[in-house]
Amino acid sequence: MSLPVIAVFAGGTSAEREVSTGSGAACSAALARSFTTRLFDVTAEALPDGFDPRRHAVFSTLHGTFGEDGGMQRLLDAAGGAYAGCDAESSRLTMDKDLTKRTVSAAGVLTIEGVTFDAGDKPSAAELQVAVGASAVVKPNSEGSSVGLKLADGPGELEAALRGIERGRWIVERRIVGRELSVGILRGSAMGIVEVRPKSGVYDYQSKYTKGLTEYLAPAPIGEALTSAVTVAAETAFGACGCRDYARVDFILSRDGEPFFLEINTLPGMKETSLLPMSARCAGLDFAALVREMVSPAVERFRSGLASRRP
Measured distance CA(178)–CA(206) in Å, rounded: 19
Q: Would you call 286 a catalytic residue per the annotation?
A: no
**56-60 and 82-83 beta bridge pairing:** parallel
Q: Would you call 250 a catalytic residue per the annotation?
A: yes
Type of residue numbered 292: R
> Are residues 41 and 170 in contact, defined by beta-carbon separation less than 8 angstroms?
no
Q: Would you call 265 a catalytic residue per the annotation?
A: yes
Q: Would you call 18 a catalytic residue per the annotation?
A: no
Measured distance CA(48)–CA(26) in Å, rounded: 19
In the chain, alpha helices (H): 17-31, 71-79, 88-95, 97-106, 125-132, 154-163, 205-209, 223-240, 275-282, 287-309
> Are residues 9 and 40 in contact, defined by beta-carbon separation less than 8 angstroms?
yes
Burial of 272 (0-12, 13-18, 19+ CB in 10 A): middle
- What does the angle CA 231 – CA 241 – CA 292 come to, to the nearest 5 degrees? 65
Measured distance CA(283)–CA(246) in Å, rounded: 14
For residue 43, how many other CB atoms are within 10 A of its CB? 12
Catalytic residue among 60, 142, 145, 182: 145
Catalytic residue among 16, 69, 87, 173: 16
Catalytic residue among 34, 209, 272, 296: 209
Q: Would you call 145 a catalytic residue per the annotation?
A: yes
Q: Would you call 92 a catalytic residue per the annotation?
A: no
DSSP string, 213-271: SEEEESS---HHHHHHHHHHHHHHHHHHTT--SEEEEEEEEETTS-EEEEEEESS---S
Measured distance CA(84)–CA(100) in Å, rounded: 21
Catalytic residue among 69, 180, 245, 263: 263
For residue 303, how many other CB atoms are within 10 A of its CB? 16
Measured distance CA(199)–CA(291) in Å, rounded: 30
Catalytic residue list: 16, 145, 209, 248, 250, 263, 265, 269
